[in-house]
């Protein structure tokens, strides 16, 4: 041949040689299918959710801007100011008790005016469109109907008001923005809370007002700044249509970051399988490549032919992965239905699919370039003798590999929501690959340097690790990443389970009771202890207030003037629970400073959580100014406390001396611990009857919901991380299969020299056992380190792994490696020496 053959001719030769079922390239197909499919599903799902959050922000919030305030309604002046920007709709949110003569249930009472909803459609369960209820009618969530044991048309009581169940809620357009609730929703007219005696001075309720701008071009941020400037001490909290549900935004962001890392991890692990699969495929085509070269094919021709074959397989694997990503998205969306706004049908996100395909093809380029370019450079005779005299290293692929890496890094930085996170992960993956490559070199050198064992089988197994042509480097990389995936999955899952066990305690009070009138504290004790004299009751005063300023007395910092809230200073956002006490609260420990006397009558004092104090650089002797019901109160910092947030008691960031805030209207909150085995139903009904304005929360149901939510997070994490494990399994299988193909010559020679099948198997097991045990130690450190980053930095959970489970899973991975290595060696024993030697 002269010159290079055209691409069309190269494709014709490639197509003839390429098996229709991609025999020999199936590992490449599987790896790209898993990696590309994971990224496609992740990108499609998160893109769809983000579009819903952005496109339906007004509907999810119920307006363009929301103003929230605790324990009071807006004044006429404040309402007039809001009305200047457009139409307003207001109402009240509070925890209440709904009851019938037979049953009682905590509910989320949502009182709205006749303009609700400003955006979106409210429908009942029968599909009929409706609006705010009127008179004594109420719309109830299905859960409230079930717990009260009533039907539509029946009556029930909330506070001192008797209401009629007029219908069952179907679609509540602003449900997601309301956040976590301690009971099913009961929707009532705006005046019901007052008529039911639920909004007395000191009661814990929240007023919410939404604005639908009369000018669609208005910026919610500008309006928020104008309102804040006009009412700087009002204590308003704000939410805009751009962040209608901050909790959902954070959840989608965190899970999106984690899932993206899972997809990239699957692709990196898959890349190792691609490299091994392509090398194995070209090894099987060694004679064909040599024949083409003998017939005059140039190195460029060889590269074109086999690049087209591998490119076709890579494209097929990527397209199948994209299709799988699209098909699996509805199932993922259905699992999130009700938690997040997402279309449960098929979603087509071109940008996400293109990014996933680009990642897959670039990874294929990086890991396939080296074996393809390596095969094209060597003369036919060298290729024919490659099994006996291994080919030398070829550095020409370095440019392609570096170019592909640069393209992947650029793609990650340009398309990722968290470019630093994705870029850092890819950089970390490159470092890990480099370390595993060095480890492979080190194992080979160590195997060659150690004294030769007396046992000939162990001696041969050790020699297989460092002999010329040994696949130790590829096996180290594959086994290292594969076993690390096992450890990663086990560590994440067990740590999430550990957080469920520690954060959701098995022992907790039976009831939380809100809004107990201070004048009825003795009556409350008498009612509970009449039937349960051994019950433990703990009561604390409860108020709501916002931190307005903090710092040294002569240089206090106004929160409203901060550009950004410091990290860890979450109590500066909006109103928080406040209390006062003459004693150090139970479950708290004093870290610095002194506690005041029980009858303290001097300057108002405050005790501050140590973590919050550290976040805002607070010192003993500094001052805090808070706003309670529009009144500013200043107290001096007397001490810092460490709070045990994992107990189910009363935990307050700020605890004041009684003379600091006791003059503000407020009620009491209590916990009730009943004797073991005591019936809770009768007490619940008595509390509802005798304290109609109070809200009783059954802790058991709250704990069940918390466990359910955390379990769902754990299940989603497990399912997502399983993709990386599947990729790791594929890589392990491919690496062992590739090593098996290169062992044909060795096995045949050993058989000719008189080795029995049992001896050959023992050598194989010894070799893989030495490698697997060494790499298990590496995988334990690598996998648990990555899991620690995911748990503590991404999810912000505590690092609570179950090492017994992790070691058991790692042991299972080692067993899998050894079993598959043994199974992969059996076909070699069936090879007939004469026939096998003729094919070498």
User: Chain centroid to CA 508: how far?
Assistant: 27
**pLDDT at 710 (0 to 100):** 61
- For 526-541, write each residue's pLDDT tens digit: 988 888 888 888 889 9
Report the distance separating Cα 37 and Cα 321, nearest Å.
4
Predicted confidence (pLDDT) at residue 338 exceeds the cutoff of 60:
no
Report the distance separating Cα 831 and Cα 748, nearest Å.
7
pLDDT above 70 as % of the chain: 77
Report the distance separating Cα 371 and Cα 278, nearest Å.
7
The larger pLDDT score, comparing residue 780 to residue 459, is at 780
Cβ pair 637, 608 in contact under 8 A = yes
Predicted confidence (pLDDT) at residue 608 exceeds the cutoff of 90:
yes
Predicted confidence (pLDDT) at residue 418 exceeds the cutoff of 80:
no
SS3 per-residue string spanning 142-183: HHHHHHHCCCCCCEEEECCEEEEEEEEEEECCCHHHHCCCCC
- For 269-319, write each residue's pLDDT tens digit: 667 767 767 777 776 677 777 777 777 777 778 878 888 888 888 888 888
Q: Comparing C-alpha atoms, which of 797, 793, 816 is closest to residue 485?
A: 816
My answer on whether omega of the bond before 117 falls inside 30° of 0, hence cis, is yes
Report the distance separating Cα 325 and Cα 315, nearest Å.
15
Average pLDDT over residues 439-466: 80
Report the distance separating Cα 193 and Cα 92, nearest Å.
8
Average pLDDT over residues 425-438: 77
Cβ pair 87, 211 in contact under 8 A = yes
Report CA Rg, the chain: 34
- For 763-818, write each residue's pLDDT tens digit: 777 777 787 788 888 888 888 888 888 788 766 778 888 898 889 888 887 887 77
Report the distance separating Cα 74 and Cα 88, nearest Å.
12
- For 575-604, write each residue's pLDDT tens digit: 888 999 999 988 788 999 999 998 898 899
The model's confidence at residue 259, banded by pLDDT at 50, 70 and 90, is low
Report the distance separating Cα 175 and Cα 49, nearest Å.
16
**pLDDT at 172 (0 to 100):** 84
pLDDT above 90 as % of the chain: 14
Report the distance separating Cα 30 and Cα 21, nearest Å.
13
DSSP 623: E
**pLDDT at 838 (0 to 100):** 59
- For 41-99, write each residue's pLDDT tens digit: 777 777 766 666 666 677 778 888 889 888 888 989 999 999 999 999 999 998 888 88
**pLDDT at 144 (0 to 100):** 86
Q: Mutual orientation of helices 246-284 and 299-336 as an angle, nearest 10°?
A: 150
Encoded tokens for 393: 């290293």
DSSP 596: P
Average pLDDT over residues 590-619: 92
Average pLDDT over residues 235-249: 69
In this structure, is the dihedral angle defined by the CA atoms of residues 456, 460, 461 and 466, taken in order, positive or negative? positive
Of 354-358, 513-517, 822-826, least confident by mean pLDDT is: 822-826
The model's confidence at residue 210, banded by pLDDT at 50, 70 and 90, is very high
**pLDDT at 1 (0 to 100):** 45
The 10 Å CB-count burial string (b at 16+, else e) for 663-694 is ebebbbbbbbbbeeeeeeeebbbebbeebbbb
The larger pLDDT score, comparing residue 279 to residue 123, is at 123
- For 360-398, write each residue's pLDDT tens digit: 888 777 777 777 777 666 565 555 555 555 555 555 666
**pLDDT at 622 (0 to 100):** 94
Report the distance separating Cα 434 and Cα 386, nearest Å.
26
- Burial label for 588, CB within 10 Å (0-12, 13-18, 19+), is buried
Write phi, then psi, for 619 (nearest 5 degrees). -120, 155
**pLDDT at 506 (0 to 100):** 52
- For 45-58, write each residue's pLDDT tens digit: 777 666 666 666 77
**pLDDT at 715 (0 to 100):** 62
Cβ pair 631, 664 in contact under 8 A = yes
Write phi, then psi, for 565 (nearest 5 degrees). -75, 130
* pTM, rounded to two decimals: 0.60
DSSP 349: -
Of 127-136, 434-443, 543-552, 700-709, least confident by mean pLDDT is: 700-709
Report the distance separating Cα 156 and Cα 98, nearest Å.
7
Provide the mean pLDDT of the chain: 79
Write phi, then psi, for 542 (nearest 5 degrees). -130, 130
The larger pLDDT score, comparing residue 53 to residue 633, is at 633
**pLDDT at 743 (0 to 100):** 66
The model's confidence at residue 557, banded by pLDDT at 50, 70 and 90, is very high
The model's confidence at residue 607, banded by pLDDT at 50, 70 and 90, is very high
Write phi, then psi, for 366 (nearest 5 degrees). -60, -45
Beta pairing class for 104-112 and 185-189? parallel
């Amino acid at each position: 041949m002269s010159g290079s053959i055209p691409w069309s001719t190269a494709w014709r030769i490639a197509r003839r040689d390429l098996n229709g079922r991609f025999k020999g390239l199936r590992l490449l197909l599987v790896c790209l299918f898993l990696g590309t499919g994971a990224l496609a599903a992740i990108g499609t799902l998160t893109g769809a959710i983000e579009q819903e959050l952005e496109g339906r922000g007004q509907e999810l919030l119920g307006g363009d801007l929301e103003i929230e305030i605790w324990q009071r309604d807006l004044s006429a002046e404040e309402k007039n100011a809001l009305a200047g920007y457009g139409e307003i709709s207001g109402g009240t949110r509070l925890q209440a008790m709904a009851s019938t003569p037979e049953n009682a249930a905590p509910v989320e009472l949502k009182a709205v005016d006749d303009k609700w909803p400003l955006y979106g459609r409210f429908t009942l369960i029968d599909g009929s469109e409706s609006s705010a209820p009127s008179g004594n009618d109420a719309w109830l969530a299905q859960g409230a109907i079930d717990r009260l044991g009533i039907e539509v048309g029946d009556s029930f009581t909330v506070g001192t008001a008797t209401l009629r169940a007029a219908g069952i809620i179907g679609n509540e357009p602003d449900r997601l923005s309301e956040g976590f609730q301690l009971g099913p929703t009961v929707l009532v007219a705006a005046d019901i809370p007052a008529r039911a005696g639920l909004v007395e001075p000191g009661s814990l309720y929240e007023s919410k007002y939404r604005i639908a701008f009369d000018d669609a071009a208005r910026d919610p941020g500008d309006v928020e700044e104008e309102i804040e400037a006009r009412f700087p001490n009002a204590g308003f909290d704000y939410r805009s249509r751009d962040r209608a549900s901050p909790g959902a935004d954070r959840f989608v962001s965190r899970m999106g970051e984690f899932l993206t890392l899972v997809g990239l991890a699957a692709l990196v692990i898959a890349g190792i399988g691609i490299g091994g699969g392509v090398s194995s495929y070209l090894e099987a085509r060694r004679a064909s490549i040599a024949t083409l070269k003998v017939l005059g094919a140039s190195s460029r021709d060889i590269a074109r032919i086999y690049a087209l074959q591998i490119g076709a397989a890579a494209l097929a694997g990527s397209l199948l992965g994209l299709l799988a990503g699209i098909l699996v998205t509805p199932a993922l969306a259905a699992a999130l239905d009700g938690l997040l706004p997402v279309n449960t049908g098929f979603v087509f996100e071109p940008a996400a699919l293109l990014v996933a395909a680009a990642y897959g093809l670039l990874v294929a380029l990086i890991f396939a370039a080296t074996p393809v370019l390596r095969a094209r450079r060597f003369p036919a005779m060298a290729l024919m003798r490659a099994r006996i005299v291994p080919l030398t290293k070829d550095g020409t692929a370095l440019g392609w590999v570096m170019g592909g890496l640069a393209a992947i890094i650029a793609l990650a930085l340009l398309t990722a929501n968290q470019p630093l996170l994705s870029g850092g992960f890819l950089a970390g993956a490159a470092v890990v690959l480099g370390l595993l490559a060095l480890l492979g070199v080190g194992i080979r050198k160590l195997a060659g340097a150690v004294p030769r064992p007396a046992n000939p089988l162990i001696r041969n197994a050790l020699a297989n690790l460092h002999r010329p042509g040994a696949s130790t480097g590829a096996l180290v990389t594959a086994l290292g990443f594969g076993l690390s995936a096992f450890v990663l999955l086990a560590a994440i899952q067990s740590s999430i389970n550990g957080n469920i066990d520690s954060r959701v305690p098995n022992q907790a009070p039976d009831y939380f009771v809100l809004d107990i009138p201070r004048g009825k504290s003795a009556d409350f004790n008498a009612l509970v202890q009449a039937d349960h004299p051994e019950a433990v009751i703990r009561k604390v005063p409860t108020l709501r207030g916002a931190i307005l300023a903090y710092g040294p007395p002569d240089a206090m910092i106004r929160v409203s003037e901060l550009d950004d809230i410091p990290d860890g200073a979450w109590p500066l956002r909006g109103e928080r629970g406040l209390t006062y006490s003459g004693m150090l609260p139970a479950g708290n420990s004093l870290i610095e400073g002194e506690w005041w006397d029980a009858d303290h009558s001097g300057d108002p004092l405050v005790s501050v959580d140590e973590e919050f104090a550290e976040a805002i650089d607070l010192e003993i002797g500094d001052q805090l100014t808070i706003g309670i019901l529009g009144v500013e109160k200043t107290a001096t910092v007397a001490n810092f406390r460490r709070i045990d947030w994992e107990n189910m008691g009363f935990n307050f960031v700020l605890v004041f001396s009684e003379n600091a805030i006791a003059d503000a209207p407020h009620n009491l909150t209590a916990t009730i611990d009943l004797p073991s085995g005591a019936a809770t139903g009768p007490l619940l009904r008595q509390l509802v009857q005798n304290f109609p304005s109070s809200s009783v929360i059954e802790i058991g149901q709250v704990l069940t919901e918390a466990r359910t939510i955390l379990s769902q997070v754990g299940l989603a994490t497990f399912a997502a991380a399983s993709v990386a494990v599947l990729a790791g399994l594929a890589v392990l299988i491919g690496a062992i299969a590739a090593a098996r193909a290169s062992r044909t010559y060795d096995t045949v020679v050993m058989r000719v020299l008189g080795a029995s099948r049992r001896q050959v198997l023992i050598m194989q097991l010894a070799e893989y056992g030495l490698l697997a045990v060494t790499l298990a130690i590496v995988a334990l450190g690598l996998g648990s380190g990555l899991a620690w980053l995911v748990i503590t930095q991404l999810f912000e959970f505590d690092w609570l792994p179950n090492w017994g489970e992790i070691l058991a899973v790692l042991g299972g991975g080692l067993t899998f490696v050894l079993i598959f290595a043994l199974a992969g060696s059996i076909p070699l024993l069936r090879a007939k020496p004469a026939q096998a030697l003729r094919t070498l």
